[in-house]
Structure 1
Amino acid sequence: MKTLKRIGTIVISVILWAIILLAALYAFTTMATKDDQSVSRILGYTPMTVESDSMKPTFCKGDLIFIKKCDTSKLKEGDIITFHTIIDNQYALNTHRIQKIDEVNGVRSYTTIGDNNNGVADQHVISDGDIVGKYVGHISNLGKVMSFLSSSMGFLIVIVLPMLLFFIYQVYNLIMISIRLKKAIAVENAEELAKAGLNKADVEQAAKDKDEAQAALEEAKRLREEAEAIRAKAEKELEKAKQDEDKNGEE
């Protein structure tokens, strides 16, 4: 029973730690998708949530795409890239297909277009320094989950709540350990007291036996002295009787 309980405790701890680690990973990746100035990466990949249907049907709004850092010199027309640009007068990240590559004096520039933009290219031409990475794949609708995780409610549910539950569980575990320890100490003290009580009784009994033995010895000594006194008296009487008998014989 104790073994099963111990295994259950370990399993719960592992699950809670896994939730916290996954939550931390989600938090990192969602922050990466929201940061337009510097893009974070996990093992060289950046997960991003698609915010529009400009690339439909390749991927759609709410999908989670994966961008990998790349060598821009190896990019070619038709590749899908993520890059820094201006959208609605705001600095943002965009993911579109390379429509055309121009090179002047070894400097490349890229014209991009969305697959669902009816053949209308993007307004801003980008350079190598604007490119974050190359699109390598996506997971449908997972971006909605990432968007939720990047929200205040998602952070509360995925980060704060698991950590709170883990903290509560650890406090409960410490309390139970403390209770079991106190119980074990109480049992041990009770056993020691019982043992001490038994030893005390043995000592008292031994003292009592010693007193009785001493009393018996004194009684035996007294009886011996009385017997010797009686014997001495008898010998004296016998000697007197013998003397009287000798005296009467002489007369």
Structure 2
Amino acid sequence: MKKAIHILKNIFVWLMVVLAACMMIFTIVSVSTFDRADRDIFGYRAFIVFSDSMSATDFNAGDLILVKEVDPSALQAGDIISYQSTSTENYGEIITHKIRELTTDEEGNPGFITYGTTTGEDDQNVVAYSFVVGKYTARLPGVGKFFQFLKTTPGYIVCIFLPFLLLILMQGVSSIRLFKRYKSEQLAELNADRERQKQEMEEERARLEEERRQSAEMMKELKALQEQLAAKVSAPAEPSEHD
């Protein structure tokens, strides 16, 4: 049971590490590339959709769309393009709409008439080739909302700060447990050394006691022998038969 809990704990820790790392990488990549017409990822640019002007047919507000750079002359009616707006109301913003037809602007430059499929109304200005960012290729539903949330303080706390904090706390608890186990093993080893030294002292004491006992017996035997010799020396000699 303990082994299974330990395995699950390790899996959870690694999941938190991967999640926190992924969130950090995603944040760095998204901040440096999303909604940037001059930045791309493997040839694709990513933009967050902020309106429902194309929700009737293709994507919704809050989606993340991928746009690939193309030669504007290869675009046709029906293609969806992202372009930089030249309207005074939202100049420079990235708009992603469908091409209705090919045309030219006031200066005779080739361009496109675009429109949002939700309203069906044409955009105010002709989109010249030089303002085309790329052709819409795919969408990631809801990812744009997540990125917007991630850029907020609560999003940062929930998606990045808390996972790292939880990971640090778990590692701190694990380190404390390892330290306690190390100290416990040290104490157990110290107690074992003390017990071993005590046993050796008792064995040494017993050996000395045995040696003293043996010495005492030898002294006793030696004394008895001396007494016997002294008795023989002090005894009178027996008379001879010739006397």
Q: TM-score, normalised by structure 2?
A: 0.82
Corresponding position of 1:17 = 17
Seen in structure 2, the aligned counterparts of structure 1 residues 190 and 132 have a Cα distance that, compared at 3 Å, is farther
Seen in structure 2, the aligned counterparts of structure 1 residues 108 and 246 have a Cα distance that, compared at 3 Å, is farther
SS of 2:7's partner is helix
Corresponding position of 1:8 = 8
Seen in structure 2, the aligned counterparts of structure 1 residues 96 and 25 have a Cα distance that, compared at 3 Å, is farther
Structure 1 residue ranges (4+ consecutive) displaced by more than 6 angstroms after TM superposition: none
Do the aligned partners of 2:35 and 2:46 also contact (CA within 8 Å) in 1?
Answer: no
Corresponding position of 1:48 = 47
- Please report how far the alpha carbon of residue 16 of structure 1 lies from its aligned counterpart in structure 2 after TM superposition: 0.7
Structure 1 residue 246 and structure 2 residue 242: aligned? yes
Residue identity (%): 21
Distance in 1 (alpha carbons) for counterparts of 2:43 and 2:221: 104
Seen in structure 2, the aligned counterparts of structure 1 residues 40 and 186 have a Cα distance that, compared at 3 Å, is farther
Do the aligned partners of 1:113 and 1:122 also contact (CA within 8 Å) in 2?
Answer: no
Distance in 2 (alpha carbons) for counterparts of 1:35 and 1:66: 10
Q: Which moved more, 1:89-98 or 1:10-19?
A: 89-98
- The RMSD of aligned alpha carbons is 2.9
Corresponding position of 1:113 = 115
| Higher CA-based Rg | 1
Q: Which protein has the bigger helix share?
A: 1
Do the aligned partners of 2:97 and 2:115 also contact (CA within 8 Å) in 1?
Answer: yes
- Please report how far the alpha carbon of residue 223 of structure 1 lies from its aligned counterpart in structure 2 after TM superposition: 1.4
- Please report how far the alpha carbon of residue 111 of structure 1 lies from its aligned counterpart in structure 2 after TM superposition: 3.8
Gap regions ≥5 residues in structure 2: none
Distance in 2 (alpha carbons) for counterparts of 1:102 and 1:109: 5
Seen in structure 2, the aligned counterparts of structure 1 residues 44 and 9 have a Cα distance that, compared at 3 Å, is farther
Gap regions ≥5 residues in structure 1: none
Corresponding position of 2:210 = 209
SS of 2:238's partner is helix
Q: TM-score, normalised by structure 1?
A: 0.80
Seen in structure 2, the aligned counterparts of structure 1 residues 45 and 176 have a Cα distance that, compared at 3 Å, is farther
Do the aligned partners of 2:114 and 2:122 also contact (CA within 8 Å) in 1?
Answer: no
Seen in structure 2, the aligned counterparts of structure 1 residues 123 and 223 have a Cα distance that, compared at 3 Å, is same
SS of 1:91's partner is coil
Give the paired residue count: 238
Instruction: Within 5 Å, give how 1:214-233 maps onto structure 2.
Output: 214-233=215-234
Deviations 1:108-140 (A, max 9, x none): 644432223433134252324x44332222244
